[in-house]
Amino acid sequence: MRTTVSLILGTLLLAIPASAQELPNPLRIATEGAYAPFNYLDDEGKVQGFEIDLARAMCDEIGANCEFAVQDWDGIIPGLLAQKYDAIIASLYITDERRERITFSDKYYQVPARFVVPKASTLEISREAMQGKVVGTQRATSFERFMRDEMAGIDLRVYATMEEAYLDLQSGRVDAIMADVVAASEGFLKTPEGEGFEFRGPEYTGAKWFGYGAGVGVRKEDAHIADAFSDAIAKVRADGTYQKISEKWFGFDVYGE
Amino acid sequence: MLTFLSDHLDAFASGAVITLQYTALSCLFGAVLALPIALMRLSPKAAVFWPATIYVLFFRGTPLLAQIFLIYYGSGQFRPTLEAVGLWQFFREPWFCAVLTLSLNTAAYSSEIFRGALQAVPRGEVEAAMALGMSALQRLRFILFPRALAAAWPAYTNEVVYQLQATSLVSIITVMDITGVARVIASRNFAFYEAFVTAAAFYLAIVYLVILLARRVERRLHAHLAAADANGSRKIRA
Amino acid sequence: MLDLKGYGWLLWEGVQLTVMVSVVSMAGAVIVGLLAALAKLGRSRLRSAIVEAYTTVVRGVPELVLLLLVYYGVPTLVQDVAASLGYDFVVAINPFAAGIATITFIYGAFACEVFRGAYLNVPAGQHEAAAVLGLNRMAALRLVILPQVFRYALPGLGNVWMVLVKATALISIIQLPELMRNADVAARATRMPFTFFFAACLVYLTITLASMWAQARAEGWAGRGVVGGRL
């Protein structure tokens, strides 16, 4: 028995029960809208970015009628489980921990993580040297997990969005932040505000925390949606659509190994 | 739920300590600040009355969330200026911004409570004190304040309870109070209702403990009235 | 003048949503508050106990926690409970509905206290007079008591409204693009937090001032038939 009840006070859509193997129509995709240039909101409040373009291309490929929903990061998996939407395309890394709760498509990009510090800072990147130092990152990310597990003794500050971590790095409230190298360089270091800052220390890729790249997340019972996206990723890679989108946003192919 | 509680009770307890600290500190500073503001609001001089009035209007007329963002992230925009006057070392710290905003906010609300209470002191009592030859300071100290305190207490208790709950907003600027702890645990373990029901239970327990304590104090504040008012019509202002 | 870097329109859209959410929530809160107050004053022990529990919880738990609980917690809880009973049951609550539901739920409790206080302010003679005129309970309530309750409740409801408008800022936490949310989006994108949060503060202040003015007018209007005129 499958019943869908929508508590409705206006705009809520009544999702029509779909047979198991069909794609939902519309297919609701959650993104964060605060992780430029992967996904962000423009000055009209519309979602933009590499992942948005890529998602649209994939939706065309699988013939789905996709709608985007903006969802704060730390509620993005609970929101999926609560059926507020059907898929997550938001630089969500495929990790074993998350796989216990949700299912992923194949990865659609993979980049390492790294610390960003002020150029003038003499901070050395190591657990010993960073004891008591204030380090910022986004709550409920791989970066947070990595630092809680591997960098005990640092003063970790977690923010709702990465953009707020950038703001506090800029104002000098934190000594360093951790982010992925592409978001940090395109979304911060290459902007005028990021001028006085640079990467420091090694690139981190440990699968335990950073997983196997970013994938489309779906509920476990919706594995067919993940499969559809995996096929779509292979197709847009093969026909060059992916490379075109990646070139537009980054000037290089972000897919990774 | 039980395993969830036993796993995370420590974290929630440390969050509760932070919540209590922020509440106590901001109520203390807020009350100290509220008194002069209340007196300014009672002044007939425009140059004294208006600054206090605009202050109260601003902090009561805008959301605390906006004030926290304004002071925390907004101060970052003025870092060079703040550094020049040596204040940045304070604004740099989330706890300072949090306590500052909470104090300024509760001061505005408390000052209105105090103002009302000061106005409620019967004119005759002040005149009687004058007739006894008390100085202005003595009148404040012995007549106005004790009477106003008793009158303000129930409303002020409400304000403290409100403040206790308002501290939950500091979780947004990285402070790990009860709500901050709940949000980290919720997202790490995908345990949303467990985490927030636990947080709600902590707040409920603390709030009703505070109310209980406040009622005790209230009874003491009104002890002299109870004795004087033997014919039964004992009214405590709510 | 504040330079809004092209984000002025986004803020304006946020203002509209803020006002809409506030008005709908306030209407809901008045209805919930009135029903709850009647239940509390009524003869049913069970109903007044339920209302007591409701106001106790709302008074003791921060709005932010209630909001997160309703938005994230309740759907998962309902699904888990349903699943354990063998049902596949989905409750989807969108930000708009969750925000309005939570604000209504919270401020319904405050409105309840206001109505209760106002009801107790209606002189006993009014009840007696209505009875003498042969009005039954419902008619007395509708024709004699409630109009007076509303008049006595007006200042309290005005306060609830002003607190409620500010509380809608919290809905930004569940990504409803109201004023606070859009100010936040603009602040982060332009890295000019002071500018946008200050602009947002000015808008809230304007709404508060307009509300204070309207409240004074409304109280004057409601008190027009009363000898001596003022409450």
Q: CB C73 to CB B65 under 8 A?
A: no
Q: Is residue A56 part of a domain?
A: yes
CATH code for the structural domain at C8-222: 1.10.3720.10
Phi, psi of A156 (to 5 degrees): -85, 125
Q: Are residues A68 and A179 in the same domain?
A: no
CATH class of B2-228: mainly alpha
pLDDT in tens, C108-124: 999 999 999 999 988 88
Q: Are residues A61 and A141 in the same domain?
A: no
Chain A's closest residue to B94, CA to CA, is A173
pLDDT in tens, C179-193: 999 999 999 888 899
Distance, in Å, from the CA atom of C200 to the CA atom of C195, rounded to the nearest integer, reads 9
* Residue A8 confidence (pLDDT) above 60: no
Q: Bigger pLDDT: B54 or C223?
A: B54
**Which chain A residues touch B if contact means CB-CB below 8 Å?**
74-75, 77-78, 81, 101, 136, 139-140, 145, 157-160, 164, 167-168, 170-173
CB contacts of B94 in chain A (<8 Å) are 157, 173
Structure confidence at residue A109 as a pLDDT band (50, 70, 90): very high
Q: Are residues A135 and A78 in the same domain?
A: no
Distance, in Å, from the CA atom of C182 to the CA atom of C22, rounded to the nearest integer, reads 16
In chain A, % of residues over pLDDT 70:
92
Q: Are residues A80 and A162 in the same domain?
A: no
Q: Are residues A93 and A144 in the same domain?
A: no
Q: What pLDDT is attached to residue B145?
A: 84
Q: What pLDDT is attached to residue C92?
A: 67
Helix-then-strand count for chain B, H and E: 12, 0
CA angle in degrees (0–180, nearest 5) for C85-C86-C89:
90
* Residue C62 confidence (pLDDT) above 90: yes
Q: What pLDDT is attached to residue C1?
A: 54
Q: Is residue A21 part of a domain?
A: no
Which residues are within 8 A (CB) of A132 and not within 5 positions of it... i.e. 6 or more apart?
Answer: A153, A154, A155
Q: Where are the domains of chain C?
A: 8-222
Q: Are residues A94 and A32 in the same domain?
A: yes
pTM above 0.80, yes or no: yes
Q: CB B182 to CB C65 under 8 A?
A: yes
**Complex ipTM > 0.95:** no
Structure confidence at residue B210 as a pLDDT band (50, 70, 90): very high
Q: What pLDDT is attached to residue C84?
A: 83
* Residue B226 confidence (pLDDT) above 60: no
Q: Bigger pLDDT: C79 or C213?
A: C213
- Among C24, C47, C4, which residue's Cα sits nearest to residue C161? C24
Tokens of B72: 């925390």
Q: What pLDDT is attached to residue A82?
A: 82
Q: Is residue A11 part of a domain?
A: no
- Shortest distance between the Cα of C83 and any Cα of chain A, in A, equals 11
The residue segments making up the domain with residue A79 are 27-110+212-250
pLDDT in tens, B150-187: 889 989 999 999 999 999 999 999 999 999 999 989 88
- Shortest distance between the Cα of C195 and any Cα of chain A, in A, equals 14
Q: Where are the domains of chain B?
A: 2-228
- Shortest distance between the Cα of B141 and any Cα of chain C, in A, equals 32
Chain-wide mean pLDDT for chain A?
A: 90
A79 interface with C at CB cutoff 8 Å: yes
Chain C's closest residue to A167, CA to CA, is C191
Single-letter code of the amino acid located at C64: L
Number of structural domains, chain A? Answer: 2
Tokens of C92: 């989807």
Q: What pLDDT is attached to residue B231?
A: 43
Q: CB A78 to CB B73 under 8 A?
A: no
HSE, side-chain direction, 13 A CA sphere, residue A89: 33
pLDDT in tens, A133-147: 999 999 999 999 999
CATH code where residue A196 lies: 3.40.190.10
pLDDT in tens, B6-51: 889 999 999 999 999 999 999 999 999 999 999 999 999 999 999 9
* Residue B126 confidence (pLDDT) above 90: no
Least confident among A253-257, B2-6, C139-143: B2-6
CB B50 within 8 A of CB B236: no
Beta bridge partners of A180: A113
Least confident among A94-108, B184-198, C53-67: B184-198
Residues A2-19, mean pLDDT to the nearest whole number: 41
Least CB–CB distance from C194: residue in B63, B74, B179? B74
pLDDT in tens, C85-101: 877 766 667 778 888 99
CB contacts of B166 in chain C (<8 Å) are 62
CB contacts of B186 in chain A (<8 Å) are 74, 78
pLDDT in tens, B58-101: 999 999 999 999 999 999 888 889 999 999 999 999 999 999 99
B62 interface with A at CB cutoff 8 Å: no
CB contacts of A33 in chain C (<8 Å) are 185
CB C128 within 8 A of CB C196: no
- Displacement of CA C77 from its chain's centroid (Å): 25
Distance, in Å, from the CA atom of B119 to the CA atom of C227, rounded to the nearest integer, reads 26
Q: CB C9 to CB A6 under 8 A?
A: no
Chain A's closest residue to C28, CA to CA, is A9
pLDDT in tens, A186-216: 999 999 999 999 999 999 999 999 999 999 9
Chain C's closest residue to A14, CA to CA, is C92
Distance, in Å, from the CA atom of C197 to the CA atom of B67, rounded to the nearest integer, reads 8
The answer to whether the Cα torsion of A68, A69, A70, A75 is positive or negative is negative
Residues C115-139, mean pLDDT to the nearest whole number: 89
Q: Are residues A55 and A77 in the same domain?
A: yes
Least CB–CB distance from A140: residue in B76, B174, B187? B187
- Shortest distance between the Cα of C134 and any Cα of chain B, in A, equals 34
